[in-house]
Amino acid sequence: MPLVGGELMRYFDYLSAEETERVFHVSPAPFSNRSEKEKLAHAIGAALYMPATRTTIAEDLRSGKHKGLTSIVIDLEDAVGDLKVEEAEASLIAQVHTLDQWIKEGQMDEESLPLIFVRIRTPEQAEHMMEQLGCAVLRLTGFVFPKFNTQTGDRYLQMLRRYNESRPEGSPVLYGMPILESSDILYLETRLETLLGIKQLLDRYREYILNVRIGATDFSSLFGLRRKPDMTIYDIGVIRDCVTDIVNIFGRANQGYVISGPVWEYFKSDRVVKPQLRETPFLETAGPAGLRLRMQYINKYVDGLILEVEMDKENGIVGKTIIHPTHICPVQALYTVTHEEYMDAAHILASSGGEIGVVKSGYDNKMNEIKPHLNWARRMMIRSEIYGVLNENQNFTALLVN
């Protein structure tokens, strides 16, 4: 069941106090859609897509159907057939109004409501949704803008600004999350000009931009490609190169945006290559039961997802679009900060006063250079506050066996 009594959301809140103490050196901090922007941008985590035609969204959220769920995207675009758009709009409006009514009547706690985003098709549809939702728009955290470009993008963002400048006092900010997925971004001859134009546009509305999201499925379709479930998006050369350029433009330290990784679309299939999920972390955490859990993830192709999330993180990407509830726990477990990462980051920040240039890691396995690693350390600290810091003897698998 959702949290009650006015408690904010926090990651892994399904753990008991004893389990939390056993797993975490620093427990995840609470947050809501009223949290400050930088924290909220990193807190989206595994965003579960739901087609707007689904009529049980409100009840699923009230009942806590999906363990660990903290953010959803209600989709009016690709998940809805062109002939079902009006039906999907009506269903979405009804679901959000139901949530709003339950909160007002005390049947549901506002603070435990997951972050809710709506992926829309056009600026016109966005305006229509705003009008139909009325005061219930307060239950949304933002809109997701597909196939974002400078033309439609400016209209989307003007709409956000108009709303936020006139929103009721004390109400949460309504954010936007553009998806980069169009041909002029992927095709080499137009990529740089397009990305720089989008960057200039977003910079004008920076206070309302929560994430920049990568739409690798649409990118892949432009070349008739699709990654296999035992590969990652980084194994497709043209997509990898484009992701690299997106990170280069939007992910620069101190002036960049939080970039969220592309959707993982598999939940079962036939295997071709050998699994890359190591036995040791599972064995150390839970013995033979851990090995059985590992095989379950391999059989469900979650090992491919795990590898891709690790690659996302190495490229400065935090957050993942998912299409199945079984992906929530593994993705979010991977965003936790290890004890070693946390100690290194804390040591670097504590030594950044200018007296020391380099210091040996507390784990005696590396050198921490203060200036080059300072931005990395700051990012680790943001992630550690949201997702927590694991105890010294724990790894991410500890959160998969609970």
Residues 84-118 pLDDT 10s = 999 999 999 999 999 999 999 999 998 889 999 99
* Position 10 in a domain: no
Instruction: Give the span between the Cα atoms of 6 and 79, in whole angstroms.
Output: 33
Checking if the pLDDT of 351 tops 50, the result is: yes
Specify the amino acid at residue 155.
R
Q: Is the dihedral of CA 207, 37, 320, 58 positive or negative?
A: negative
pTM listed for this prediction:
0.91
Instruction: Give the span between the Cα atoms of 71 and 126, in whole angstroms.
Output: 20
* Position 272 in a domain: no
* Position 299 in a domain: no
On whether both 318 and 369 belong to a single domain, the answer is: no
Instruction: Give the span between the Cα atoms of 388 and 280, in whole angstroms.
Output: 22
On whether both 246 and 347 belong to a single domain, the answer is: no
On whether both 308 and 352 belong to a single domain, the answer is: no
Q: Pick 266 or 140 by higher pLDDT.
A: 140
Residues 110-164 pLDDT 10s = 888 999 999 999 999 999 999 999 999 999 999 999 999 999 999 999 999 999 9
Cα 273 to Cα 229, 268, 269, 303, 332, distances in angstroms:
10, 14, 12, 12, 25
On whether both 225 and 317 belong to a single domain, the answer is: yes
The torsion angles phi and psi of 72, rounded to 5 degrees, stand at: -130, 155
On whether both 231 and 351 belong to a single domain, the answer is: no
At 276 the pLDDT is 67
On whether both 388 and 312 belong to a single domain, the answer is: no
CATH number for the domain harbouring residue 183: 3.20.20.60
At 270 the pLDDT is 53
Instruction: Give the span between the Cα atoms of 347 and 248, in whole angstroms.
Output: 27
* Position 209 in a domain: yes
On whether both 347 and 241 belong to a single domain, the answer is: no
Cα 269 to Cα 16, 224, 229, 289, 303, distances in angstroms:
34, 20, 7, 23, 12
On whether both 247 and 394 belong to a single domain, the answer is: no
- Do you know the residue count of the chain? 402
Number of domains in the chain: 2
Nearest alpha-carbon partner for 321 in 10, 6, 48: 48
* Position 98 in a domain: yes
Checking if the pLDDT of 376 tops 90, the result is: yes
On whether both 192 and 224 belong to a single domain, the answer is: yes
Going by the DSSP 8-state scheme, the letter that residue 202 receives in this structure is H
* Position 310 in a domain: yes
Residues 184-226 pLDDT 10s = 999 999 999 999 999 999 999 999 999 999 999 999 999 999 9
Domain residue limits at 71: 31-266+304-324
> With 0-12 CB in 10 A as exposed, 13-18 as middle and 19+ as buried, what is 188?
exposed
At 381 the pLDDT is 97
* Proportion of the chain in helix, strand, coil states, percent, rounded to 5: 50, 15, 35
In sequence order, what are the beta bridge partners of 48? 72, 322
* Position 334 in a domain: no
* Position 8 in a domain: no
Instruction: Give the span between the Cα atoms of 99 and 92, in whole angstroms.
Output: 11
pLDDT bucket at 290, cuts 50 / 70 / 90: confident
Helix, strand, or coil (residue 168): coil
